[in-house]
Amino acid sequence: MKKLILIALASLSIISCRKDDDNYNSKSPFEGTWTLSKNQILDGKDDQILFSNNQLECSYKRTCVFVGETIAITHFKSEYSGLPCVINNIENGKFSYDDASKKITFKFDNQFGQYSESHYIKLLSNNEMQLIDSNYQYDYNNDGIADKYIMIFNK
């Protein structure tokens, strides 16, 4: 009986080491292709949804592809109403993430030089990422408090 218990404990320790190794080698939670699915405006006081819009129009569609520390954002457009979306432009750059502040920063180079933008992560799961647009400084519901613009992406 004691021998059986020792074997069981040894097996558990091997399994737990493998689990630690898997976590250590796991990919970044950002890794993959994310598609903008919805924009929302949340009340600055209590995060109640003031506005929600599914991204159906080509001019709002975009995908973000994260690989390692790089990002490629593809913006779409439609030449005429009812025609399929086509690629408008692609921005390639790098990103960094500060887990303590939940801040993600994108850095891009374009014909005018280098620029960066930062957003805060409201939610990050295996299949959903919600970014708070840090440049949004509007009071959508006119209550005297700046509201939050949220971009919701899905894998």
Tens of pLDDT, residue by residue over 59-103, are 778 999 999 999 999 999 887 777 788 899 999 999 999 999 999
> Is 89 within a domain?
yes
Residues of the domain holding 105: 28-154
Does pLDDT of 37 surpass 70?
Answer: yes
Domain count of the fold of the chain: 1
Q: Which two tokens stand for residue 86?
A: 């086509």
> Is 105 within a domain?
yes
> Is 55 within a domain?
yes
Residue 98: closest CA among 82, 79, 120, 124? 120
Tens of pLDDT, residue by residue over 105-151, are 999 987 788 889 999 999 999 999 999 998 888 999 999 999 999 99
Quote the CA–CA distance of 29 and 153 in Å, as a whole number.
Answer: 13
CA–centroid distance for 24 within its chain: 21
Predicted confidence band of residue 26 (pLDDT cuts 50, 70, 90):
low
